[in-house]
Amino acid sequence: MNRIFLDVHALQTVPPSNLNRDDTGAPKTAVYGGVPRARVSSQAWKRAIRTYFKDEHLLDPAELGVRTKKVVELLADRITGLDASVERETALKLADETVKAAGFKTEVPKRKAEQAKKDGSPAPAPESKYLVFLSSRQLDGLARLALEGAADITAFLKTKENKARAKELADTRHSVDIALFGRMVADVADINVDAAVQVAHALSVHRVDNESDYYTAVDDKNTDEETGAGMIGTVDFNSATLYRYAALGVHQLAANLGQGLREDEPRTEPVRRAVEAFVQAFVSSLPTGKINTFGHHTEPDAVVVKLRTTRPISCVAAFEDPVRSDGGGHLREAADRLAAYTFDIERAYGDPGTTLTWVLRVGPATQKLADLGTETGTLRELAAAVGQAVAERLEKPA
Amino acid sequence: MSRTSVLVLRLAGPLQSWGASSRFTRRTTESAPTKSGVVGLLAAAAGIERSDDVRLAPLAALRFGVRIDQPGTRIRDFHTAHHGVTGASMPLSERFYLADAVFVAAVEGDHALLTSLHDALRAPVYPSYLGRRSCPPSEPVDLGLYEDARIEDVLTSVPWQASAWYRRSHQTPQTLTVLRETAADEPAAAADVLRDQPVSFDAAHRRHALRTVVTAPVPTPIPSVGGPREDTHDPFAALDVLEDESA
State the DSSP string of B80-137.
Answer: --B-TTT-PBPPPEEEEEEEEEEEEEEEEEEHHHHHHHHHHHHS-SS---SSSTT---
User: Mutation test of the interface with chain B: which of A18, A19, A28, A32, choosing the one with the most B Cβ atoms within 10 A?
Assistant: A32
Average pLDDT over residues A302-317: 96
DSSP state of A204: E
CB proximity list for A299: less than 8 A, separation 6 or greater: A12, A283, A284, A362
* Chain B contact set for A345 (CB, 8 A): 139, 228
CB-based contact A195 B97, cutoff 8 Å: no
How far, in Å, CA of A314 to CA of A200, rounded?
A: 9
Neighbours of B181 (CB within 10 A): 23
B-contacting residues in A 324-363 (Cβ below 8 Å) = 324, 337, 340-341, 344-345, 348-349
How far, in Å, CA of B56 to CA of A175, rounded?
A: 30
Whole-Å CA distances, A182 to A179, A201, B19: 6, 18, 20
User: Mutation test of the interface with chain A: which of B49, B139, B229, choosing the one with the most A Cβ atoms within 10 A?
Assistant: B139
pTM of the model: 0.81
A-contacting residues in B 135-174 (Cβ below 8 Å) = 135-140, 163-166, 169
pLDDT tens, residue by residue, A43-59: 999 989 988 988 888 87
Q: Name the 3-class secondary structure at A69.
A: coil
Measured in angstroms, the CA of B14 and the nearest CA of chain A are apart by: 6
Over chain B (247 residues), the average pLDDT of each successive run of 10 is 88 93 77 94 94 93 96 88 58 88 96 96 94 93 94 94 92 92 78 86 82 90 55 54 48
Q: Do A206 and A241 contact (CB within 8 A), yes or no?
A: yes
CB-based contact B204 A70, cutoff 8 Å: no
Identify which of B119, B140, B134 has the alpha carbon closest to the alpha carbon of residue A346.
B140
Residue A246 sits at φ, ψ, to 5 deg, of -145, 150
Of B122, B136, B231, the CB nearest to A245: B136
CB-based contact A30 B97, cutoff 8 Å: yes
Burial B135-155 (b: 16+ CB within 10 A, else e): bbbbbbbbbebbeebbbbebb
How far, in Å, CA of A35 to CA of A206, rounded?
A: 8
Query: Would you state the pLDDT for residue A300?
Result: 97
Which residue has better confidence, A382 or A103? Answer: A382
CB-based contact A67 B231, cutoff 8 Å: no
User: Mutation test of the interface with chain B: which of A6, A31, A188, A203, choosing the one with the most B Cβ atoms within 10 A?
Assistant: A31
pLDDT tens, residue by residue, A148-200: 988 888 889 888 888 888 887 776 556 777 788 876 555 454 456 788 999 99
User: Is the C-alpha dihedral spanning B203, B58, B98, A291 positive or negative?
Assistant: negative
